[in-house]
Amino acid sequence: MTTILIAPAKLTLGLRITGVRDDGFHLIEAEMVTLNLADRLFVSPGQGLSVNGTTEGFSVDSDDNNLVNKALALVGRQAQIRIEKNIPAGAGLGGGSANAAAVLRWAGFTDLEAAATLGADVAFCLRGGRAWVTGIGEEVSPMPFEPRTFTLLTPPFGCSTPAVYGRWDAMGGPRGQGDNDLEPAALTQYPELTTYRDALEEASGLTPHLAGSGSTWFVEGAFPGENRRVVHTVAAE
């Protein structure tokens, strides 16, 4: 018997880095929302992981490095899982975290602190909706839901979250001019991001924001067009 799990994307509307722990984990303050863009996971008895769908030129691990396998290990379960990717990989939309959170929900796992050890976004994806996220991502404080519309532009490449955080460290921890402290580091690590930022600005007349560590740019409102995706926030279940 196959069970289908829905794994919604998240959008980080603002991200401040407030410190670095001795173990290297970064402390954050962030507002996150869930989007109506989701992967689907097909779970059946057995073992193994496969991925198909959009990865936007960014490789998706199907071995022990994949967050789904790490989530299975955390809950002590085995399963054969096929991921149907609709969330671009390496896009700053929490696709891997959403997949891991879906597995944790399926297993009835609710420990946010343990979930955050898999990745900074996993605990939020487990809770969903709209929330203020602090600590290393394990402190998730629900906020009132607001229906909002955003336009996303995702380049045909992904950004490595560890590489962007590493660049932020190497740059001395700069504060972003906008709401995202990682934006200067991402632009330094991946200067080609500017092309896509400028394209979204031209299409919308608004100043785009970087989603997390990138590579997606977003603006509020609906501006459909080539390579642009209009999405909406969804409430927690």
More confident residue, 191 or 62: 191
CATH number of 3-142: 3.30.230.10
Give the angle subtended at the CA of 115 by the CAs of 49 and 91, to the nearest 5°.
60
**Res 213 pLDDT > 80:** yes
State pLDDT tens for residues 82-132: 999 999 989 999 999 999 999 999 999 999 999 998 988 999 999 999 999
Residue 113's pLDDT is: 92
Dig out the tokens for 196 from the structure: 């896509």
pLDDT at 198 over 90: yes
Considering the chain, what is the average pLDDT of its residues? 93
**pLDDT at residue 9 greater than cutoff 90:** yes
Q: Which residues of 53-92 are buried (b: 16+ CB within 10 A; e: fewer)?
A: ebbbebebeeeeebbbbbbbebeeeebebbbbbebbbbbb
Domain ranges of the chain: 3-142, 149-234
What pLDDT is stored for residue 57 in this prediction?
A: 47
Per-residue pLDDT, averaged over 6-35, amounts to 95
Active-site residue list: 10, 121
Which of 93, 81, 111 is CA-nearest to residue 159?
Answer: 93
CATH architecture of 149-234: 2-Layer Sandwich (3.30)
Is pLDDT of 188 > 90? Answer: yes
Proportion of the chain above pLDDT 70, given as a percent: 95
Q: What is the pLDDT of residue 169?
A: 95
Asked if residue 54 has pLDDT above 70, the reply is no
Residue for token pair 């794994």: 7
Supply the pTM of this predicted model.
0.92
- For the segment 57-83, the average pLDDT, to the nearest whole number, is 81
Sorting pLDDT into bands at 50, 70 and 90, what band is 50?
confident
Confidence tier at 60 by pLDDT (50, 70, 90): low
**pLDDT tens figures, 149-166:** 999 999 999 999 999 999
